[in-house]
Amino acid sequence: MKPVSVSDLSYFAGCRRAWYWGKQYYPLIPPDYFWVGTGVHAGLDNYFNSNRSLPKALTAVNEWYHNSIKELEGSVDSDVWVSEYRDRFQTDYELILGMVENFTIYDRIAHPPLFQGDVVATEVFASFKLSNGIVLRGRIDLVLENDLGLVLIDHKTFSSTPSQVSVDIDGQLTAYSYLWCMTRKRRPDVVAYNVLFKGMPQPPTRLKRGGLSKAKGQYTTEALYRESLLEEELDPADYEEILGILHENGWRQFFDEFITFRDPVELENFEKRVLQESQEINDVHADPEKLAYPAPSIYTCGRCDYKRACREKEQGGDYEWVLDQEFTTKSSY
């Protein structure tokens, strides 16, 4: 029996073929969203694991970056790396550093209740043997004890805001709650997503005719806006409306917390479901040619890394050659 990870449960449900190939073939160059998310995780894990030290968080990002870039540079031709990828990854690296530092400022100034209290552990690897003999395992980013109780947190980097309803039924958070409950004999009081939106606050737009833009959708903060007013020697009274909006928005353009919980009945139903799903996953491992079938859809295939190889296989072509040419069997990031 092969172990089943929490991420397996999510990807397997989306498309069996993409999930199965994803266990063996990795893109030579990782997608932006994946690489940025990995770097942010490295910083946040070390931030909370070092008594909230920003220097240690940034050091962790730097170490991860240099190791990752070394591997990536060796995966493609040097001229291609310089012409197509070097600047992109440098820009993403600066974004990661900025997002991590901005989060530490948010934590220090806003004191969001979710992150207060004592850090119990970071990067907790949990595994539990199900009654069908299959081991379910997962990694929980952050565990805290605070006024909310025992809190399990997963860090996410998103471009848009998820809905609270979707978080309330999210399978990943249910799985983490289940794993903690079964391995630590205590049901978490709260499970949550710590969402960092991709981007950094910028100074307000300066108008050619003079003054600052009062557009409500600017990606800035009240503090940056007031700083620009001082630099331009402008009267804050003329900008009361936009300053009020920015004050009310606070940090919501950059961070959000989605807090929920899982009751005993939800965990019981998850257990019933995971017994079936984990068995199906192992069945696919045993007979991938028959059972690792695709789930083609215009809604999901657009972002799939394997669509060219998948089309080749559906046409009876040499899909394995495509996989060997476009992917690596070594995950280095």
3-state secondary structure 309-325: HHHHHHCCCCHHHHHHH
Q: Give the tens place of pLDDT for each residue, 148-207.
A: 999 999 999 988 888 999 999 999 999 999 999 999 999 999 999 999 998 888 899 999
Pairing of strands 149-158, 135-146: antiparallel
d(C-alpha 236, C-alpha 286), whole Å: 68
Mean pLDDT, the chain, whole residue set: 94
83-134 pLDDT per residue, tens: 999 999 999 999 999 999 999 999 998 899 999 999 999 999 999 999 999 9
Residue range 232-247, pLDDT digits in tens: 999 999 999 999 999 9
Three-state secondary-structure class, residue 210: coil
pLDDT at 283 over 60: yes
Strand partners, 158: 197
pLDDT above 70: residue 146: yes
pLDDT at residue 74 in the model? 85
Query: Tokens 């073939």 belong to which residue?
Result: 25
Instruction: Give the three-class secondary structure for 101.
Output: helix
Where is pLDDT greater, at 208 or 65? Answer: 65
Residues 292 and 306: beta-carbon distance below 8 Å:
no
What residues does each domain of the chain span?
A: 113-198+254-262, 201-251
Angstrom distances, CA of residue 294 to CA of 8, 280, 306: 15, 15, 11
- Cβ atoms 36, 95 nearer than 8 A: yes
How far, in Å, CA of 167 to CA of 165, rounded? 5
Quote the percentage of the chain above a pLDDT of 70.
99
Please compute the mean of the pLDDT values over residues 316-328 and round it to a whole number.
94
Q: Helix, strand, or coil here: 137? A: strand
Q: Which residues pair with 191 in a beta bridge?
A: 152, 260
Structure tokens at 39: 């770097």
For the domain made up of 113-198+254-262, the CATH class stated in words is: alpha beta
* CA atoms within 13 Å, Cβ hemisphere of 105: 14
| CB-based contact 122:49 (threshold 8 Å) | yes
| Confidence category of residue 214, pLDDT binned at 50, 70, 90 | very high
> Does 332 have pLDDT greater than 60?
no
Q: What is the pLDDT of residues 299-316, one digit of tens each?
A: 889 889 999 999 999 999
Is 231's pLDDT higher than 90? Answer: yes
The CA–CA distances, whole Å, from 157 to 224, 266, 296 equal 23, 26, 26
- Give the whole-angstrom CA distance, residue 239 versus residue 247: 12
323 exposed, middle or buried (CB, 10 Å; 0-12, 13-18, 19+)? buried
